Amino acid sequence: MPTKSQRLLSGEGIDYAAKTDEEITTWVSRLEKAGETRSPLYRRLIEERSSRQPPLLQTEVSLRHLTATARSGKFTTYGDLAAANGAEWSKARHLMNGAHGHLDQLLDICFARDLPLLPAICVNKEGVRTGDLSPEALNGFAAGARRLGLEFGDDREFLRECQQRCFEWAKAEKQIPS
């Protein structure tokens, strides 16, 4: 018979819609600290949090854009990602980066859905040909991946591996995730 903790981690029997945004965020944070990012509960909480995003930047729109870009073997910019959402850069830029920003939430969703970390191919204008991230952006990407429980040494090498996985996955994938 499963323990109470095992039943909770399964995510079954929870009315997610009745939980506040703060409760969802607290649960997510606690599960990350406990190393339970692969549990069904964590994955369900990430999906629930994503479904509550403000309408300016939408998870599914961004995933389709990142997948199509990866399929072409290219990198995209933060501005292009905003434009794919029909958002002006001046309004979207403050929602894009940082802890729990749109890119961070996309990392969570990709991880929860067993997709490659598609935000790895989203860079600033200066890095669109090479895939390079600024030191600050690289630190944020690496911190987000570590928060999910991923282990790696060199941040830049990890980024390159993630980018390559994105391109390989997108070329082999038959349809864009929705």
| Cα–Cα distance list, 25 to 16, 22, 45, 120, 136 (Å) | 12, 5, 8, 23, 24
Q: Where are the beta strands (DSSP E) in the chain?
A: 76-77, 122-123
Does one domain contain both 65 and 117? Answer: yes
Per residue in 62-88, pLDDT (tens digit) is: 999 999 999 999 999 999 999 999 999
Does one domain contain both 64 and 47? Answer: no
Does one domain contain both 82 and 112? Answer: yes
Q: Where are the beta strands (DSSP E) in 41-117?
A: 76-77
Does one domain contain both 117 and 162? Answer: yes
Name, in order, each residue with C-beta under 8 angstroms of 165's C-beta and a sequence gap of 6 or more: 116, 117, 120
CA–CA dist 80, 161 (Å, integer): 23
Does one domain contain both 66 and 130? Answer: yes
Per residue in 85-128, pLDDT (tens digit) is: 999 988 898 888 888 889 999 999 999 999 999 999 999 999 99
Task: Say how far residue 145 (Cα) sits from the centre of its chain.
Answer: 9
Does one domain contain both 47 and 84? Answer: no
Does one domain contain both 75 and 136? Answer: yes
Number of domain units in the chain: 2
**22: containing domain:** 1-52
Percentage with pLDDT > 90 across the chain: 66
